[in-house]
Amino acid sequence: MDDTQRKSDFIDVGTAKLCYEEQGQGTPVIMIHGGGLDLHNWDSQFDVLAEHYRAIRYDVRCYGRSMTSEPGAFSYHEDLLHLMQNLGLSKAVIMGLSLGGYVAIDFALAHPDMVLALIPVSPGLTGYEFKSKAYLEWGREMQEAKSLDEAVDVFMRYWTDGPSRTPDQVDPGVRDKVRQIEMNSFANFFPSMGQNREERLQPPAIGRLAEIHVPTLVIVGDVDMPEIHEVADVIKNAVPGAKKVVIKGGAHLVNMERPQEFNAAVLEFLSTIATPESGKGSG
């Protein structure tokens, strides 16, 4: 594949078709977006990574253009397995934000031989109980939302702006882009997800992090939810050799708010990783 050629297609994973894009050559780096978003979550990273790596991003089931064909139980980390198998990948670097973070971690536990390195960003963690006042208020307001517009407004207040900022303290261009992504993604998510049941990793990841033995970099924004920082510390302290980077001026969507700092941290990390092609990072 030519370095500049972008491919977009669908992969059949049995009860769903996953939309994915790939570009570049070399070590595969797979990007998994956060809840309420789609693969455009990674617009500021995709082309940059494709200059050095085989960059792959996809819409997880029920988000973006990845739709289910029939109701049933599923696991996001097993969808990732099918994606990799269909693309002929035996190993990859896995990077995921929020929901994508816990999917990446669960995948690393379920299929450890297929992970070269792990980059959880603003990560969730299966088995961790979110119970702060801000988190509970977000859940209540989402349930009370009477329209798609209201639901997106609530989502953005807590997860784009963060608990300590007002909307006018966030780059309006970032807010506009997030709103557009969420409007499109939520419009598909609610009718699709109602027919499906997610089955998460058992036992959950929170008690198994010491089983992860690949290079791991946790990235968080300094004004994200307090519990996200707690999860990041749990991962950093439990995964052998894990490192953590805190990026100033970013909330939950730190890669969209601070792309230059985020990309620099990721590329520096990837440059130190042993890869099948060269024995060292190709970045």
Q: What is the pLDDT of residue 277?
A: 56
Residue 135 lies in a domain: no
Residue 192 confidence class, pLDDT cut points 50, 70, 90:
low
Residue 73 has pLDDT above 90, yes or no: no
Mean pLDDT is lowest, of 23-27, 46-50, 176-180, 186-190, for 186-190
d(CA 283, CA 279) in angstroms, rounded, equals: 12
Q: What is the pLDDT of residue 2?
A: 47
Q: What is the pLDDT of residue 121?
A: 98
264 lies in which domain range? 6-126+188-270
Residue 139 lies in a domain: no
Residue 190 confidence class, pLDDT cut points 50, 70, 90:
low
- Name the more confident of 53 and 163: 53
Q: What is the pLDDT of residue 111?
A: 98
Residue 120 lies in a domain: yes
Residue 92 has pLDDT above 50, yes or no: yes
Q: What is the pLDDT of residue 106?
A: 98
Residue 101 lies in a domain: yes
Q: What is the pLDDT of residue 122?
A: 98
Give per-residue pLDDT as tens, 114-151: 999 999 999 999 999 988 888 888 889 988 999 889 99
Q: What is the pLDDT of residue 198?
A: 87
Residue 147 lies in a domain: no
Q: Give Cβ neighbours of residue 76 (< 8 Å, ≥ 6 apart).
A: 60, 61, 99, 103, 106, 198
Residue 15 lies in a domain: yes
Residue 195 has pLDDT above 80, yes or no: no
Residue 151 lies in a domain: no
User: How many C-beta neighbours within 10 Å does residue 208 have?
Assistant: 17
For the chain, what's the residue count?
Answer: 283
Give per-residue pLDDT as tens, 225-258: 999 999 999 999 999 999 999 999 999 999 999 9
Asked if residue 89 lies in contact with residue 196, where contact means CB atoms within 8 angstroms, the answer is no
Range 159-180 average pLDDT: 95
CA distances (Å), 178 to each of 181, 182, 192, 206, in order? 5, 6, 21, 29
Residue 110 confidence class, pLDDT cut points 50, 70, 90:
very high
Residue 231 lies in a domain: yes
CATH code assigned at 91: 3.40.50.1820
Q: What is the pLDDT of residue 68?
A: 75
d(CA 126, CA 115) in angstroms, rounded, equals: 18
Give per-residue pLDDT as tens, 1-54: 444 589 999 999 888 899 999 999 999 999 999 999 999 999 999 999 999 999
Q: What percent of the chain has pLDDT over 90?
A: 77
Quote the number of domains for the chain: 1
Residue 280 has pLDDT above 50, yes or no: no
- Per DSSP, the three-state class of 254 is helix
Q: Give Cβ neighbours of residue 113 (< 8 Å, ≥ 6 apart).
A: 91
Round the average pLDDT of the chain to a whole number and report it: 91
Q: What is the pLDDT of residue 193?
A: 62
